[in-house]
């Protein structure tokens, strides 16, 4: 049952992945034979218009949703062949909308340990890693601000010691300074521990700052896949060129 400690070269592989959703206008194809793979030790940033299917793609990686067609491989094993709980421990997912469980911040941080009958991680140290003061520990989690919740949710997932992190716009409620702390933390976590992260972000500059590799999701596919530097300097496809141009003009407006 236990997965060998030997590292698999590909943390994630998507093979002709398709996903339909049933919406108001009937059945709609969200992902259409998407292909791609992510090497272990990579920080992949995902960009694309909203509604393109980025969040859906993340939820396929920890099997919160099942692909309708194609395969998703995690560390050399297809998601549906994994023991589900084990897969979800290895692949941590942090949502854009953080949900706190009833109880204090400390209760939330101890959740993973409680579920797996392990001694709880050091809550104060976890808070410190995401840039929050330790005196939040005994506050009811529901009383936190949106930005604080986002960071507690990230710390709660880190406490589970995943090998792969899926981050869905986790700095959307943070100011620039707080976002910097998170960016440094994730970059450091990936680089020093040779972990893998897939980071969905609306912030083009952020995608550029933190990524090793960047994919543009559109029309249900990863239309441009390139090392991050190349993605932003020399996009190969029309889609990529348009996205980067739009991002530049947005950056100039913000400047």
Partner 1 sequence: MWSLAWTLAFVFLAMALSGWQRLGLSRELVVAAVRACVQLFLIGYLLKVVFHLNNLWLTAAMVTLMVCVAADNASRRGQGVAGRFWRVFVAVSATEVCTQGFLLAARVIPPKPSYVIPISGMIIGNAMVAAGLFLHRLRHEAAARRGEILVLLSLGASPKQAARTVVKAATKASMIPTIDSSKTIGLVQLPGMMTGQIIAGADPVQAVRYQVLIVFAILASAAVTTVVLGFLTYSRLFNAYQQPLL
Q: How far is the CB of 14 from Mg ion (least distance, A)?
A: 17
For the record, the structure tokens of 95 come out as 């949502």
Q: How far is the CB of 188 from partner 1 (least distance, A)?
A: 22
Regarding 26 and contact with ligand ADP (CB under 6 A), the answer is no
Out of ligand ADP, Mg ion, partner 1, none, what residue 40 binds, judged by CB under 5 to 8 A for its kind, is: none
| Helices 146-158, 176-193: crossing angle, 10 deg rounding | 10
Number of other CB atoms surrounding residue 240 within 10 Å: 23
Helices (H), 110-213: 111-115, 123-129, 146-158, 176-193, 204-210
Out of partner 1, Mg ion, ligand ADP, none, what residue 160 binds, judged by CB under 5 to 8 A for its kind, is: partner 1
DSSP 238: H
Q: What is the per-residue binding string for Mg ion in 3-42, x denoting contact by CB under 5 A?
A: ----------------------------------------
Q: Which of 7, 9, 16, 21 binds ligand ADP (CB under 6 A)?
A: 21
* 47-76 positions binding ligand ADP, by CB under 6 A: 48, 50-56
Phi and psi dihedrals of 246, rounded to 5? -60, -40
154 or 218: whose CB is closer to partner 1?
154
Rounded to whole angstroms, the Cα distance separating 247 from 105 reads 37
CB 67 within 8 A of CB 53: no
CB 67 within 8 A of CB 19: yes
Q: How far is the CB of 160 from Mg ion (least distance, A)?
A: 22
Q: How far is the CB of 145 from partner 1 (least distance, A)?
A: 18
Q: How far is the CB of 50 from partner 1 (least distance, A)?
A: 20
Interacting residues toward partner 1 by CB under 8 A: 62-66, 80, 84-89, 92-93, 95, 97, 99, 101-102, 111-112, 115-116, 153, 156-157, 160
Regarding 55 and contact with Mg ion (CB under 5 A), the answer is yes
Rounded to whole angstroms, the Cα distance separating 92 from 166 reads 6
CB 46 within 8 A of CB 198: yes
CB 130 within 8 A of CB 155: yes
Number of other CB atoms surrounding residue 245 within 10 Å: 11
41 or 49: whose CB is closer to Mg ion?
49
Q: How far is the CB of 53 from ligand ADP (least distance, A)?
A: 4
Regarding 225 and contact with Mg ion (CB under 5 A), the answer is no
User: Applying CB under 6 A, which residues contact ligand ADP?
Assistant: 21, 23, 30, 48, 50-56
């Amino acid at each position: 049952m236990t997965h060998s400690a030997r590292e698999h070269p590909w943390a994630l592989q998507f093979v002709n992945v398709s996903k339909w959703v049933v919406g108001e206008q009937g059945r709609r194809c969200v992902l259409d034979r998407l292909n791609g793979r992510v090497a272990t030790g990579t920080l992949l940033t995902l960009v694309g218009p909203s509604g393109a299917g980025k969040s859906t793609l993340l939820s396929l990686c920890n099997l919160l949703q099942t692909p309708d067609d194609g395969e998703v491989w995690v560390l050399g094993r297809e998601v549906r062949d994994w023991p589900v709980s084990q897969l979800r421990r290895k692949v941590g997912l942090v949502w854009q909308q953080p949900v706190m469980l009833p109880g204090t911040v400390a209760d939330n941080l101890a959740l993973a340990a409680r579920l797996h009958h392990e001694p709880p991680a050091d809550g104060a140290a976890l808070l410190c890693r995401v840039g929050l003061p330790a005196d939040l520990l005994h506050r009811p989690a529901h009383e936190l601000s949106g930005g604080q919740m986002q960071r507690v949710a990230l710390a709660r997932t880190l406490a589970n010691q995943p090998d792969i992190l899926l981050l869905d716009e986790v700095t959307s409620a943070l100011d620039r300074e707080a976002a910097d702390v998170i960016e440094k933390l994730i970059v450091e976590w990936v680089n020093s521990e040779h972990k893998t992260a897939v980071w969905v972000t609306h912030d083009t500059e952020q995608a550029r700052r933190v990524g090793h590799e960047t994919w543009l999701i559109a029309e249900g596919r990863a239309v441009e896949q390139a090392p991050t530097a190349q993605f932003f300097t020399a996009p190969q496809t029309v889609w990529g060129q348009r996205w980067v141009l739009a991002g530049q003009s947005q950056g100039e407006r913000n400047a």
